Copies of this chain bind each other. A is one copy, B any other.
């Protein structure tokens, strides 16, 4: 088990060695550690190798000039200048928060970025400012619109964080697909089938094969089938795509740049880099803060008191699973599986820094 501090120090050094400023290295690292603490290792240290390889391939800019290129009192378009996604995203959310302080709300659409880790992290940045935070991003195109077999959309997650008074915040952070892509990979490695409603084959026939993407298949949108409302998941994913990429001038849908170096840069581009969308809404732009926070407490108590279905002992509030993971992992430490430790050691050796395996 690793301590968050050990991994944080290591990751900061990795980014510094790649050429990032200390400030940027720290900002990016925070998101990696948050993913590990939230129990989402698919967005944690596992991704460090991807960034390392993109850096080696000269496909990310470690000294980016992340800046506003267009703005209004409550909006901005930010150009990430090819930055590590976490750096462009943190800056963008900070701008949304600054806009909200004056205009009541702030909305930033960001282009020229890269994969940014967990969406929930940025939405939660708004909480300490007594704001609601919102965050969306596109992702590698592996998802087909309803009635189609073309991989045109990513798992396009949405995150919304809402503060409460006596209780932890409500934090909804979810993909617009039935499952995250990582779960398919896990099932594939174990040789297990997945339930119908996750993926389809190259003709659009529902499949139980988690490796079907390698055979021309695709993931489907939330809902799973038209009969069960997958067109609604398609609508949501399309909104994420348009807000993140068309508003900012990034590469929408199928043109999303690969977040890994082993996939080639696409021949055609329709914008700059990867796109995200951020929002911050000041609570007191709508309600007296105390009133709102008390009502949120009441909202949480109401949903917490929902009667559980047979076989369940409680009903969750959005954000419960990640918070409970965090409490547990802060006590137990962060477990890094051996193949990832090996990758981290290779990165360390390449950069001339130390990393202790087997912890």
Contact = CB atoms under 8 A, between A and B. Distances in A.
Interface of A: 70-75, 77, 102-105, 107, 109, 144-150, 152, 158, 160, 162, 170, 172-179, 195, 197-198, 200, 203-205, 222-224, 227-229, 231-236, 238-239, 241-242, 246-249, 252-254, 270-271, 281-282, 285-287, 291-292, 295-296, 298-299, 302-303, 305-312, 314-316, 318
Contacts of A152: 302-303, 306
Contacts of A173: 235
B204 A147 contact: no
A107 B281 contact: yes
Nearest to A249: B287
Given A74-B74, A152-B302, A308 B147 contact: yes
Copies in the complex: 2
Contacts of A224: 223-224, 228-229
A307 B246 contact: no
B307 A253 contact: no
A160 B239 contact: yes
B72 A285 contact: yes
A291 B246 CA distance: 9
A219 to B, nearest CB: 12
A311 to B, nearest CB: 8
A315 B228 contact: no
Contacts of A146: 315-316
B236 A236 contact: yes
A36 to B, nearest CB: 22
